[in-house]
Chain A
Amino acid sequence: MAYFDHANSSPVDERVIQAMLPYFREFYGTAGLELGHSKDIAALTGLEEARKTVAKSLNADPRAIVFTSGVTESNNMAIRGVAVANKGSGRHIITTPIETQSVLQSCKRLEGAGYEISMLDVDEYGLIDLNQLKKTIRDDTILISVQHANGEIGTIQPVEEIAEIAVKKDIMFHTDATHTYMRVPIDTESFKANLISFDAHRIHGPKGIGVLYIRRKTRIHRVLEGGDEERRLRPGIENIPAAVGMAKAIEIWEPNENEHVLNLRKYLEKKLKESLTGFTITGHPENRAPHIFSMVVDHVEGESMLVHLDMLGYSISTGSACSSKTLRGSHVLRAIGLPPEVSHGSVRVSFSRYNTETEIDGFVEELCGTVERLREFSPLTSGVYFANEEEDNHHHDLPEDDW
């Protein structure tokens, strides 16, 4: 039995829970007033200490840290907030097709409002091409948004170089660091991104809390209207217990943790090469988030692998069309050029401090058994792949949500 889906969400560390509890029971005030009553002051102190901890993790000024409800909100705020604040100088935004939905949908929304979005190409590993980026920049480009690492295939983008290019042209640069925060060093003294999004629940912190790092002098507007919280950039009572929990998750992060997950990933790769046939690792072989392993397995479908492995006690994830609500499948796997019958077999395994090599041994054995079993009756094993010529509407007759 093992949980291998930490890139999706991770268990909250017990020490984090303990650190949060007093902020439910005793320090339940809000952080609005510096000269409020003692409950408020205690809450404010907790929040500001948390802010300092987050800032330190990025080598940043605490004033650059804005707490949000998570990466989705951080990304919305970064993109839509920059778009609004800079519309006087232009309406052109550059991003990639493998960003997370909150980035892509924010861009789409802006497109409907008269902004122009350029999508960079990505290669088979998911990497963008810096030359293409340079050529895509125009006089009216106001924002570049490129993720740090991809959540599905782990590939790390050359964000330092992108930041340099952006700084030279005085274009705002946003990066979604969901899958690299704490796992790949980020030093905002040398790395000149204007905006960095990340959250707590992937580093053993609670859900419902995230951060948007905003470099000084970044041109951005708030997207929510309200009071004075978070330097008026993100109005609304802060989620103080969660912010305190996030800070605790950062404090207890061990220096050797990233090496541990990297070793586990290498170990899994080695084991799979010894015992599984017909699979291809996806994403960049070297430049990737240390804890994310991803592959496509020939001739079997991901959701059936996922459910079968789940029955055996192993949690993994897949980008197969069959497991997505819309049945469209992973936009990332499509963008790196995988046809549907191949991306159907995608598997992501993501590690944390809690995983061990013994767990991987058990997993590889069960995975091989699962794949073998499903391949036994897969029509693709005999080598023919058949797709109806005529337009087939099965996947379009999706039911309306019956709410």
Chain B
Amino acid sequence: MLSTEETHEIDLEIKKFPYKQSACLEALAIVQHHRGYVSNEALKAVAQYLEMSETELDGIGTFYNLIYRKPVGENVIRICDSVSCWILGYEKIKAKIKNELGIDLGQTTPDNRFTLLPTQCLGTCDHAPALMIGDDLHRDLDENNVVQILKSYQEKRVVKDTIDG
């Protein structure tokens, strides 16, 4: 079942197109935004709402990097492994993150805070190496500042926890 909020947001996206099925990627992104990832159940609900087959929708969802069909941690780290970042030391940054978090590419930390994924060129090659954490872009990375950046996300969560009680 989709929530009222989800259907409301999806309806706004449908208005952009002559056919509601065209909003399917937007719909998947909305559901993912609310639930963290697109579960089978969520996929089914979106497919029903847009009157399309689940297999077709899954074929579209799985085509994209930013649609997660499996659970991910609170913070998804997407490290650029494309050419300019590779030249500027992507391997070292990756090793540092792996070491700090104790996870490899494609894995999530046991406390569910971080998932580490590779990504293609982030379009910021003059500031390579680069990565994104959630919607935030971090550039000009080195082995020191990347640790600071990770720390700041760990601290962010602590602040949130105290506010939530």
A joins B in a complex = no
Chain B residues engaging chain A, CB cutoff 8 angstroms: none
Chain A positions within 8 Å of B, measured between CB atoms, are none
